[in-house]
Amino acid sequence: MTADPPGAASCPVCRARFRGAARCTRCGADLTALMLFLAHAYRLRQEARELLRHGDCLKALACVEHAQRLHATPQGNLLRWICATASKQSAAP
């Protein structure tokens, strides 16, 4: 048995790895809400990258923190660190 990669989503009922289907392949639970959370977190990370590119570091940080609360990923964690660092640098005199 191999461990899921960090940040991998899983069924909230049986912890089976999420495979992108609306129903859990192991227990049959409805995963529609999980899919919506993952999609929303993805869009928030995309928005954070776009805001960062335009220099709006504080809004980018808020977006990525929201995304991480919905679905924490290692990439999101790195993006949060970048946004936080950029925010501190842009706030420095």
Contact residues: Zn ion, CB under 5 A: 11, 13-14, 16, 24, 26-27, 29
CB-nearer residue toward Zn ion: 22 or 78: 22
**Residue from 50, 45, 48, 93 nearest 72 by CA:** 45
Q: Write down the least CB distance from residue 31 to Zn ion, Å.
A: 8
Q: Write down the least CB distance from residue 14 to Zn ion, Å.
A: 3
**Residue from 85, 53, 49, 90 nearest 67 by CA:** 49
CB-nearer residue toward Zn ion: 8 or 27: 27
CB-nearer residue toward Zn ion: 36 or 78: 36
Residue 56: strand, helix, or coil: coil
Tell me the C-alpha to C-alpha distance, in Å, between residue 47 and each of 12, 13, 30, 65: 27, 30, 28, 12
Q: Write down the least CB distance from residue 25 to Zn ion, Å.
A: 8
